Structure 1
Amino acid sequence: MDKKLAYLNVVLASCLWGIIGIFVSNLYELGLSSIQIVSIRVLSTALILILYVVFRNQKSLKINLSHSWYFVGTGIVSFSLFNWCLFNTIQMTSVSIATILLYTAPAFVTIISRVVFKELLTTKKFLSLLLTFIGCSLVIGIFQNSNTAISFNGLIMGLGSGFFYALYSIFGKIALVKYDSLTVTLYTFIFASIVVTPLSELWEIAHLFKHVEIWLNIIGIGFLSTVIAFTLYTKALNTIEASRASIIATIEPVVASIVGFIVFQEELNFWQYIGIIMVITAIILVRDSKIDV
């Protein structure tokens, strides 16, 4: 894949992740809990991908059982645990603190990639990480509230969400050595579904599934913001470094803020605009792969 197309894939994936708040908010209003929404996300994604590969690309179903640890890594260790940590952080602290701690992920990816993949920790990457971290902080408004106290457990859970979120890029890149992006995405959500679904007690809200509205939001969260998004992102990892992809993906909170402004009439202030500019600058900086210093 051409590098420009790979970068575009990451940006598109991030935009699709950024609009997930629309579907999540609607599902909350319908009476679902956090773990039930996560379960619906992974289960619907797994079912959509299984149907696709059965009818269009059956060879993507074939894996070597000895490689199952790849998908334990992407589906259980990464996706399931990052969601669990994230929701706990929100409960212990606030959405703002939880979000900014989640976006420590690029730093974890860059450090781990340096060890695992021998990727260079260049000046550009360091500056991009700094701009991204400050930019995300401004976008979510964390510096505007002086009363944002955080407990030690909240901090550990928040950093855990960033760490486990980062591991998707690491395990995903390892899995792509043996399998294509469709297979990696498929088994990520099969393994995640196996773990999350039994914990969600979805059967207790079975009566809600008779409404068309819930199915429209399931399509949104499962197909648009998960199937397409993760397929685009995983495919891009074939071409570009995991650290670069992770930094570019931090456009997600920017998109989420814009969605909040347009859909939920949430106001953007001066510092949030500055934060958006900083994140976009970081993406442009890390995208330039011709000269690394």
Structure 2
Amino acid sequence: MDRQARRTGFLLVITGAIFWGGSGTVVKKLFQEYAIDVNWLVTTRLLIAGILLLTVHFFGKDHSQVFGVWKNRRSAFQLIVFGLLGMLAVQYTYMASIHHGNAAVATLLQYLAPVFIIIYLILRKQSAFTRQDLLNILLTLIGCLFLLTNGSISQLSVPTPAIVWGILSGIALAFYTLYAVSLLKHYNSLVIVGWAMIIGGFAFSFIHPPWQIDLSSLRIATYLYLLFVIVLGTMVAFYFYIKSLESLSPKETSLIGSLEPLSAVLTTVFWLKEPFGFFQWMGTACIIGMILLLALNKQSSSKTNQPLKEEMPLT
């Protein structure tokens, strides 16, 4: 692998992670200053990003998979379940957590997913409880305690609904990660995620149709922020992550992907001027440390050159 290709890979995954993390902060700005409805944004983001991802794959390699996934009944059923209980659940709970709190806390709480996965696998007796698991869980618990209380047990630093939705987002992401495994063994991740977004967006359209918005009331800045969230923060970020795996190992992409929560925290604090205390920074460090440890430990027990289609990041 030549140096230029690796440099390009690093640039892609770094850019994707920053777009992912920053999009949550932009979403908060849309809720706060531009009165964008959370239900409308979830529906619109899923539909447009899903269509764009499938379009990119259709004009790339092996476009037969775009519709081939529907030819197998079992795969089609799994895809519908994944779209509703995985993709839609992750997107809505994450957006709701941002709406009630902020992007930094919502993103960090969503990253509780690895701990929920560890607990699930232990309870199902598919994995033994190790010292590494104990360390990860302790880091997460301490991190959450600091993040949500800022060192004061008597009061929470963020609203309770934001915490509840954030934890539900972590649970949804755990399901999203575990349930997708069998689908990704047979189909490209762009196809699976693209269709899952469309399924989730279509289902949510019955709750809040995407055309139910007064476009005349939107300002140019609103359109630009929406463009960032839907295109750069969703479709482009995901595509960059997948593309980077052509020149980088999953270990490298996983570690650099940890920039996502850091990006969310930094943009929340320095762009939106949200207050963030010393103990919240400590909590952030604990949770990001847990993510890094998991990424490193995962690679020590498996080959670093996994098939590209088995890697599916958070969207």
Partner of 1:200: 208
Partner of 2:112: 104
**Which consecutive residues of structure 1, in runs of 5 or more, have no partner in the other structure?**
none
State whether structure 2 residue 289 is matched by structure 1 residue 281: yes
**Which consecutive residues of structure 2, in runs of 5 or more, have no partner in the other structure?**
1-5, 302-315
* Shift in Å, 1:227: 1.9
Point out the more displaced range, 278-287 or 149-158.
Answer: 149-158
**AA of the residue aligned to 1:34:** V
1:25 aligned to which of 17, 21, 28: 28
**AA of the residue aligned to 1:108:** F
CA contact (8 A) 1:181 1:231 kept: no
CA–CA separation in structure 1 for the residues paired with 2:296 and 2:95: 35
Closer, same or farther: CA 148–282 of 1 in aligned 2, 3 Å: closer
Closer, same or farther: CA 153–131 of 1 in aligned 2, 3 Å: closer
State whether structure 2 residue 59 is matched by structure 1 residue 59: no
CA–CA separation in structure 2 for the residues paired with 1:263 and 1:153: 23
Point out the more displaced range, 144-153 or 63-72.
Answer: 144-153
For this pair of structures, how many residues does the alignment match?
A: 284
State whether structure 2 residue 189 is matched by structure 1 residue 185: no
**AA of the residue aligned to 1:25:** K
CA contact (8 A) 1:35 1:200 kept: yes
Closer, same or farther: CA 71–181 of 1 in aligned 2, 3 Å: same
Partner of 2:312: none
Partner of 1:224: 232
Alignment TM-score, normalising by the size of structure 1:
0.74
Deviation by residue 1:18-67 (Cα, 9 ceiling, x = unmatched): 21233213422222111111112111201212332343342341313410
Deviation by residue 1:205-256 (Cα, 9 ceiling, x = unmatched): 14248754333223211222222444566787xx869xxx6x9977644332
Question: Does the residue aligned with 2:205 lie in a helix, a strand or coil?
Answer: helix
* Shift in Å, 1:83: 4.2
Between the aligned residues of both structures, percent identity stands at 22
Question: Does the residue aligned with 1:77 lie in a helix, a strand or coil?
Answer: helix
CA–CA separation in structure 1 for the residues paired with 2:130 and 2:175: 21
Closer, same or farther: CA 255–132 of 1 in aligned 2, 3 Å: farther
Q: Which has the higher helix share?
A: 1
Closer, same or farther: CA 154–229 of 1 in aligned 2, 3 Å: closer
Closer, same or farther: CA 200–22 of 1 in aligned 2, 3 Å: same
* RMSD of aligned alpha carbons: 4.3
